């Protein structure tokens, strides 16, 4: 399902990136129990001033170094897929079922939509193709008429009439 088109189908006036935002983080690591301590690393932000006690979030922070962990043992990569990260419309955010229904309706509407009329350039190309075909047919008829005239002249010349 394409969330963007499903939402645009439900709320045709909605503007992506201002009214709603769709995000796909791709595969993200999910820690298994006990792995947090194994991969925990302290990152220094700035040294404390003289006689100042270090404060977490100001002078240092803790993070997870996945290089210290083993995939499948300490963490798993999970792909959540696309999701609605921001919703600024006054209407309530649609449920998964409503979005799926809107996606099906959107696909049906797209399948039943009449084809767009050709652009001016496409129309001129089609016209040119038709004219080239017509020109080739006229040229073929002219070549045949010339061949017939040449054969007739040859026959008359052999018969001594000319």
Q: What are the start-end ranges of the E strands in 113-157?
A: none
When pLDDT is averaged across residues 117-146 and rounded to a whole number, the result is 94
Q: Note the pTM of the prediction, 2 decimals.
A: 0.55
Lowest mean pLDDT among 60-64, 148-152, 154-158: 154-158
When pLDDT is averaged across residues 2-16 and rounded to a whole number, the result is 93
When pLDDT is averaged across residues 85-104 and rounded to a whole number, the result is 95
Are 121 and 105 in a shared domain? no
Are 137 and 124 in a shared domain? yes
CA atoms of 75 and 68, how far apart (whole Å):
11
Are 139 and 75 in a shared domain? no
**Structural domain of residue 82, as residue ranges?**
3-112
Are 20 and 73 in a shared domain? yes
Tally of domains within the chain? 2
The string of DSSP letters for 27-45 reads EEEEEPTTHHHHHEEEEE-
CA atoms of 159 and 12, how far apart (whole Å):
83
Q: What are the start-end ranges of the E strands in the chain?
A: 20-23, 27-31, 40-44, 60-64, 75-79, 83-87
- Predicted local distance difference test score (pLDDT) of residue 50: 87
pLDDT tens digits, residue range 97-128?
Answer: 999 999 999 999 999 988 888 899 999 999 99
């Amino acid at each position: 399902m394409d969330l963007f088109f499903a939402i645009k189908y439900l709320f045709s006036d909605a503007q992506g990136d201002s009214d709603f935002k769709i995000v796909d983080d791709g595969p993200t690591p999910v820690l298994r129990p006990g792995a947090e301590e194994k991969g925990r690393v302290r990152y220094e932000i700035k040294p404390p001033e003289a006689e100042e006690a270090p404060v977490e979030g100001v002078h240092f922070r803790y993070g997870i170094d996945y290089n210290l962990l083993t995939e499948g043992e300490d963490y798993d990569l999970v792909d959540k897929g696309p999701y609605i990260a921001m919703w600024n419309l006054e209407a309530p955010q649609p449920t998964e079922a409503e979005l799926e229904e809107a996606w099906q309706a959107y696909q049906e509407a797209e399948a039943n939509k009449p084809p767009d009329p050709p652009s001016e350039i496409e129309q001129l190309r089609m016209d040119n193709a038709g004219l080239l075909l017509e020109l080739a047919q006229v040229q073929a008829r002219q070549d045949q008429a010339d061949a017939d005239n040449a054969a007739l002249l040859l026959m008359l010349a052999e018969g001594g009439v000319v």
